[in-house]
């Protein structure tokens, strides 16, 4: 699996509001297996990838290859307000860059707080 798979799996699982334990039960795997997939230390067999794509309601190619870190970053109302107030000086590229930085920092903070191990 490529590097996107691990991030995509966690991103899509959280988007669906599932814990690692809940997702594991849906595909008959232990939560620690889901954690290893999300950390990139292990890769699932194709049968499990198919199950994951069905549960997460995403195409297999997208689950494996798509860069959800950029393509599906959540939109923040506060940012939209900021962007609209500064629409004359911020380009779309500026806005996407700001969203990217905020999402990256959020992931770093989650990691520091140890939430990666608890989800």
Task: Give the structural domain span for 33.
Answer: 3-66
- Answer yes or no: do 8 and 62 share one domain: yes
pTM of this prediction? 0.58
> Phi and psi dihedrals of 3, rounded to 5?
-70, -25
Regarding whether 9 and 61 lie in a shared domain, the answer is yes
Number of Cβ within 10 Å of residue 79's Cβ equals 14
- Examine the domain organization and report whether 90 and 112 are in the same domain: yes
Task: Give the C-alpha separation, 49 to 47, whole Å.
Answer: 5
Instruction: Please tell me whether residues 77 and 57 are part of one structural domain.
Output: no
Pair 33, 62 in one domain: yes
Residues 85, 53 share a domain:
no
In tens digits, the chain (119 residues) has pLDDT values of 556 899 999 989 988 889 999 999 999 999 999 999 998 899 999 999 999 999 999 999 999 988 877 655 444 556 667 777 777 787 878 878 887 888 888 888 878 887 555 55
Domain count for the chain, please give it: 2
């Amino acid at each position: 699996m490529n590097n996107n798979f691990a991030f995509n799996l966690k991103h899509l699982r959280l988007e669906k509001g599932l814990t690692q334990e809940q997702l594991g039960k849906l595909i008959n795997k232990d939560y620690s297996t889901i954690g290893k997939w999300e950390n990139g230390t292990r890769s699932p067999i194709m049968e499990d990838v198919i199950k994951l794509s069905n549960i997460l309601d995403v195409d297999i190619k997208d689950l494996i290859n798509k860069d959800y870190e950029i393509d599906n970053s959540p939109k923040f109302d506060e940012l939209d307000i900021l962007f609209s107030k500064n629409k004359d000086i911020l380009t779309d590229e500026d806005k996407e860059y700001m969203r990217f930085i905020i999402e990256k920092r959020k992931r770093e903070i989650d990691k520091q707080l140890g939430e990666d191990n608890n989800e």
